[in-house]
Chains A and B, each alone.
Chain A
Amino acid sequence: MSRYFTEDHEWIDVDGDIGTVGISDYAQGQLGDIVFVEVPDDGRQIAKGDEAAVVESVKAASDVYAPVSGIVLEGNPALVDDPSLVNSDPEGEGWFFKITLSDTAELDELMDETAYAAFVAKL
């Protein structure tokens, strides 16, 4: 299983053609305390770069973009009751949704962990 990052601070873990998407630790730190998360409906077809989810903190509401194209398998039901999971475990329990990738080649355009760390260091 490998992890990729976008410049908009989403991460995706890929296992076969199934991806798990969330926002990075850097992103949750910038947003501050998360108070609400809206995850996409099961079965929704989304294209890479589409607005897939909404995350709202005490500061602002932000869109979470789909890092790849595909069909949504499921949203993380735990975030509805406990959005603070995004703060406490952004790259684990605080995942947003799972997606069936329609084109694994799209992953080539994303950053790996090292490249993302370098990207964040420059911000």
Chain B
Amino acid sequence: MALNQSGWRPSTPQQGDGAPATFTGNRALMLEEPLIFEIGSSETTGVDFASAPSPHWGEGRGEGQGSHREAGLDETPAPHPTLSPAGRGLGGLERTAPIGLAGLSEQETVRHYTRLSRQNYAIDLGLFPLGSCTMKHNPRLNEKVARLPGFADVHPLQPVDTVQGALGVINELAMWLITLTGMYGVAMSPKAGAHGELCGILCIKAALEKRGEGHRKVVLVPESAHGTNPATAAFAGFTVEDIPATADGRVDTAALKARLGPDVAAVMITNPNTCGLFERDLKEISDAVHAAGGYVYCDGANFNAIVGRVRPGDLGVDAMHINLHKTFSTPHGGGGPGSGPVVLSKALAPFGPLPFTARTADGYVHLIEEERAEEFSNEHFDGKLDSFGRMTAFHGQMGMFTRALAYILSHGADGLRQVAEDAVLNANYVLRSLEDTLDAPFAASGPCMHEAIFSDRGLADGFSTIDVAKGLIDEGFHPMTMYFPLVVHGAMLVEPTETESKAALDQFIGALRSVAQRAKAGDMALKTAPHFAPRARLDETLAARKPVLRWKPPVAAAEAAE
């Protein structure tokens, strides 16, 4: 077996308590798994192809030797000195050296990835406390529905008449999202939360330009907002300015109002925010922003805590993305893809992207593309439809639409309302159970919403949030979100979601309390945790400073080292 000589290597597992070393390096079901390039080689193959027929049938074309077709393909002409037939059409770009892919049999390949997957953590293995990620259970009913052939086996270029069911799903989900948020329209195509943010901000940009106010270049982003918000605004060409948070973890409304003016395009606000708190002043803020000629973008990543309880449209929001992979239980964190539809106010809806669906009175679902946009605009938008363009080639993440609609219909309006209530209840249970052990900076700010936040205050000298996180790995949990939001020192952000039972919450709370107490007592074993993971504490600094991004064959690595 070839060894990876390309550089730094993670530490090998520690043999605990005098346990004997094994020949394989495996420890029972904890299996050591090399890189795929170290198992296979480019000389082996998992499939035996029959020898290719002679590739030289086109030889000598244009050299007056007559057609090989006439001569018959069975006749083998002399090989071309340089080019294979495939290379003839590639303008000299034909590959000349082996591509270096590892060759493995099917069983070897399946085992490799199955073994790797056993070293991974997943929502199907245990509680996933990542704050602001809403790692809730993915119901199996969703999966069953998404696999129905009428949804799973359709193609986006099929004639609209043949995919009425699939388009009906998109349209019905769109209507649910509009109703749940109290908005006017929705763009279904964005493929993730940040993609949805970009879509919403581009709607705002288009609306401003239509008004002749393209000079508004400033987007205000509070410190309690998601980190993607300023990135989105900057990517769309705006200048980002911070708005401070108050001591209780909410937007400083007075500071925000004071900054409003003729250069402000929009405010991007996350509600509930990344401190786990409801932005109580959002209506007041929206009114002020609108009065100053700007728009309000709301980051809806944390919608899970208010779904069925609060309609953002009632709070003056102009655009908000909804992470179907959070609130509406579609898979994410490696099981994705994500999906980030954006609901839009009446002011912004005309600028939304194409294509979109529309159901007419006869029940037929239309797919509105560029060629029909004007006709549709005249019929339904008083001729005011003015799309900024497209976000995607097709209609969005169809597989996620079917899952999200299955989730919505199986819960119903009352079930969704209970989702929000239980999510908030669980988060508050975590907050109140741990505030005696960990510093909870906003414990006095009232009940939290979807997530509980703690700081590293009170940990022993030299101990930080990272040590608590690594200790949680040994306890068998994925760590919480760390060091975010930045307004809290050494932040630990825990979002349990509504799908965890009290028993599961109690086990997690017990684990976090135990690790936190060790960090407060200065238990040095915590500084080198995890001890029971396939790899001990990794050197994140070296990995960031001198990343090894690509495996190199041992020979090349040795040459590079010389």
- Does A associate with B in a complex? yes
Is A36 engaged at the interface, CB distance under 8 Å to the other chain?
A: yes
A73 to chain B minimum Cβ distance, whole angstroms, is: 26
Whole-angstrom CA separation of A83 from B546 in the bound complex: 11
Is A59 engaged at the interface, CB distance under 8 Å to the other chain?
A: yes
Whole-angstrom CA separation of A58 from B545 in the bound complex: 10
Is A20 engaged at the interface, CB distance under 8 Å to the other chain?
A: no
Partner among B483, B544, B545 whose Cβ is within 8 Å of the Cβ of A60: B483
B547 and chain A: residue at smallest CB distance: A35
Q: Cβ of A35 and Cβ of B483 under 8 Å apart? A: no
Per-residue interface assignment for chain A, residues 8 to 38, with 1 indicating a CB less than 8 Å from any chain B CB and 0 otherwise: 0000000000000000000000001101100
Partner among B484, B486, B541 whose Cβ is within 8 Å of the Cβ of A58: B541
Q: Cβ of B483 and Cβ of A83 under 8 Å apart? A: no
Is B124 engaged at the interface, CB distance under 8 Å to the other chain?
A: no
Is A84 engaged at the interface, CB distance under 8 Å to the other chain?
A: yes
Q: Cβ of A35 and Cβ of B545 under 8 Å apart? A: yes
Whole-angstrom CA separation of A38 from B544 in the bound complex: 15
A82 and chain B: residue at smallest CB distance: B545
Number of interface residues of B (CB under 8 A): 9
Q: Cβ of A35 and Cβ of B486 under 8 Å apart? A: no
In the bound complex, residues from chain B placing their C-beta under 8 Å from that of A35 are: 541, 544-545
Is B461 engaged at the interface, CB distance under 8 Å to the other chain?
A: no
Chain B contacts with A in 450-484, Cβ cutoff 8 A: 464, 482-484
Whole-angstrom CA separation of A74 from B544 in the bound complex: 25
In the bound complex, residues from chain B placing their C-beta under 8 Å from that of A60 are: 483-484, 486
In the bound complex, residues from chain A placing their C-beta under 8 Å from that of B483 are: 59-60
Is B540 engaged at the interface, CB distance under 8 Å to the other chain?
A: yes
- Residue picked from A32, A59, A84, most chain B C-beta under 10 Å: A59
A63 and chain B: residue at smallest CB distance: B242
- Residue picked from B482, B484, B486, B545, most chain A C-beta under 10 Å: B545
B515 to chain A minimum Cβ distance, whole angstroms, is: 19
Query: Taking chain A's interface residues, is the majority helix, strand, or loop, or is none over half, making it mixed?
Result: loop
Q: Cβ of A36 and Cβ of B486 under 8 Å apart? A: no
A68 to chain B minimum Cβ distance, whole angstroms, is: 21
Number of interface residues of A (CB under 8 A): 10
Whole-angstrom CA separation of A83 from B483 in the bound complex: 21
Whole-angstrom CA separation of A60 from B484 in the bound complex: 9
Whole-angstrom CA separation of A56 from B464 in the bound complex: 18
B484 and chain A: residue at smallest CB distance: A60
Partner among B484, B486, B541 whose Cβ is within 8 Å of the Cβ of A33: B541
In the bound complex, residues from chain B placing their C-beta under 8 Å from that of A56 are: 544
- Residue picked from A32, A35, A84, most chain B C-beta under 10 Å: A35
B489 and chain A: residue at smallest CB distance: A30
Whole-angstrom CA separation of A36 from B541 in the bound complex: 10
B544 and chain A: residue at smallest CB distance: A35
In the bound complex, residues from chain B placing their C-beta under 8 Å from that of A59 are: 482-483
In the bound complex, residues from chain A placing their C-beta under 8 Å from that of B486 are: 60
Chain A contacts with B in 47-83, Cβ cutoff 8 A: 56, 58-60, 83
Whole-angstrom CA separation of A58 from B486 in the bound complex: 14
In the bound complex, residues from chain B placing their C-beta under 8 Å from that of A36 are: 544-545
A36 to chain B minimum Cβ distance, whole angstroms, is: 7
In the bound complex, residues from chain A placing their C-beta under 8 Å from that of B545 are: 35-36, 83-84
Per-residue interface assignment for chain B, residues 516 to 557, with 1 indicating a CB less than 8 Å from any chain A CB and 0 otherwise: 000000000000000000000000110011000000000000
Whole-angstrom CA separation of A83 from B544 in the bound complex: 11
Whole-angstrom CA separation of A84 from B486 in the bound complex: 22
B483 and chain A: residue at smallest CB distance: A59
Whole-angstrom CA separation of A60 from B541 in the bound complex: 12
Chain B contacts with A in 112-132, Cβ cutoff 8 A: none
In the bound complex, residues from chain A placing their C-beta under 8 Å from that of B482 are: 59
Whole-angstrom CA separation of A1 from B175 in the bound complex: 68
Whole-angstrom CA separation of A56 from B544 in the bound complex: 10
Whole-angstrom CA separation of A58 from B541 in the bound complex: 6
A61 and chain B: residue at smallest CB distance: B227
B546 and chain A: residue at smallest CB distance: A35
Whole-angstrom CA separation of A79 from B185 in the bound complex: 50
In the bound complex, residues from chain B placing their C-beta under 8 Å from that of A83 are: 545
Whole-angstrom CA separation of A27 from B544 in the bound complex: 19
A83 and chain B: residue at smallest CB distance: B545
In the bound complex, residues from chain B placing their C-beta under 8 Å from that of A33 are: 540-541, 544
Whole-angstrom CA separation of A78 from B439 in the bound complex: 40
A99 to chain B minimum Cβ distance, whole angstroms, is: 22
Whole-angstrom CA separation of A58 from B464 in the bound complex: 13
B441 to chain A minimum Cβ distance, whole angstroms, is: 14
A100 to chain B minimum Cβ distance, whole angstroms, is: 26
In the bound complex, residues from chain A placing their C-beta under 8 Å from that of B544 are: 33, 35-36, 56, 58
Whole-angstrom CA separation of A32 from B484 in the bound complex: 15
Whole-angstrom CA separation of A59 from B485 in the bound complex: 11
A118 to chain B minimum Cβ distance, whole angstroms, is: 20
Chain B contacts with A in 475-524, Cβ cutoff 8 A: 482-484, 486
B322 to chain A minimum Cβ distance, whole angstroms, is: 27
Whole-angstrom CA separation of A35 from B545 in the bound complex: 5
Whole-angstrom CA separation of A60 from B486 in the bound complex: 9
- Residue picked from A36, A58, A60, A84, most chain B C-beta under 10 Å: A58
In the bound complex, residues from chain A placing their C-beta under 8 Å from that of B484 are: 60
In the bound complex, residues from chain A placing their C-beta under 8 Å from that of B540 are: 33, 58
**Which positions in A face B, CB cutoff 8 Å?**
32-33, 35-36, 56, 58-60, 83-84
User: Can you pick out 20 interface pairs between chain A and chain B where the beta carbons lie within 8 Å of each other?
Assistant: A32-B464, A33-B540, A33-B541, A33-B544, A35-B541, A35-B544, A35-B545, A36-B544, A36-B545, A56-B544, A58-B540, A58-B541, A58-B544, A59-B482, A59-B483, A60-B483, A60-B484, A60-B486, A83-B545, A84-B545
Given contacts A35-B545, A60-B486, 18 further A-B contacts (CB under 8 A): A32-B464, A33-B540, A33-B541, A33-B544, A35-B541, A35-B544, A36-B544, A36-B545, A56-B544, A58-B540, A58-B541, A58-B544, A59-B482, A59-B483, A60-B483, A60-B484, A83-B545, A84-B545
Please name the 8 residue pairs, one residue from A and one from B, whose CB atoms are nearest each other, closest first. Answer: A35-B544, A33-B541, A59-B483, A58-B540, A35-B545, A58-B541, A60-B483, A58-B544
